[in-house]
Amino acid sequence: MNGAWVTFKKELFAYLVSPVSWLIAVLFYLMRGYELSRLVAHFADNRLDQELLPTLSYGLTSTFLMVMLVPGILTMRCFAEERRTGSIETLLTAPVRDVDVVLGKWGAAAVFYGLLWLPSVLVLHVLEYGWFLDADLAFGPVFAAYLGMFLLAGLLLAFGCFASSLTDNVLLAALLTIIFCFGLLRLPNLVAGSVDVAGNYYLRELLDKLDVMRNFAEWFARGLIDTSQVVFYLGGIGFFLFLTGISLQSRRIA
């Protein structure tokens, strides 16, 4: 595991010194700050149930962009850039297992993604203790919501690593990931809307299980953690990291 840890540290450092990462953070918080202030004002004006606030903040455009665009941007360089510059050759000829490289890179992307969300905890603090609101936040749903977000992000980042290992074109890698994110989030919904699934039990169940957006609204955001969904995301993460490892190993196999 030494290789994974060393790769993780180096990759996390690369994220922390990359201007792109900071640009994402700045844009995200500018947008999110504006949206949250609007949302809070809306709640205050209309005397809505304060406990719904974390749930509703899920639906903000900034959340959507964080899930749709950011995984692709964060992971596009993982392997594509190494392939483009040729540093993949020194990396893969070092005495480190491919699986360690994959875990290190994905771990760094996941932790950095977590760091991007970290300041949003401050918003909870403001909501809980702010003088202008008398909210009594339920932290259970908040915790479940964060967990769900990280599981989903972990899956998208794992796919991003895989896409990045397929090409030496970083833009193509980002695009593939964004298409996947869009597909995962929107496709079940679109299919269910355009095909008559009422009579087809299996299709309906499948689409139901795959509908990430609805799962979030009905489970994680309400503080409900469904083991089958946790397994779904963890399995997806493992699956795509495995594919990434295979993609790296393929150059060693005749």
Binding site for another protein (CB under 8 A): 2-3, 6-7, 9-10, 13-14, 17-18, 82, 85-90, 92-97, 251-254
Other beta carbons within 10 angstroms of residue 18's beta carbon come to 14
DSSP state of 127: H
Nearest approach, Cβ of residue 242 and another protein (Å): 19
Q: Quick one: 72 or 104, whose CB is closer to another protein?
A: 104
Tokens encoding 118: 């970290």
What single-letter amino acid sits at 38?
R
Nearest approach, Cβ of residue 17 and another protein (Å): 5
Q: Quick one: 38 or 251, whose CB is closer to another protein?
A: 251
Nearest approach, Cβ of residue 116 and another protein (Å): 19
Q: Quick one: 48 or 94, whose CB is closer to another protein?
A: 94
Nearest approach, Cβ of residue 160 and another protein (Å): 19
Q: Quick one: 95 or 193, whose CB is closer to another protein?
A: 95
CB 28 within 8 A of CB 128: no
What secondary structure does DSSP assign to 195-248, as a single string? S--TT-HHHHHHHHHH-HHHHHHHTGGGT---HHHHHHHHHHHHHHHHHHHHHH
Tokens encoding 94: 């070092």
Nearest approach, Cβ of residue 87 and another protein (Å): 3
Q: Quick one: 9 or 125, whose CB is closer to another protein?
A: 9
Helix, strand or coil for residue 45? Answer: helix
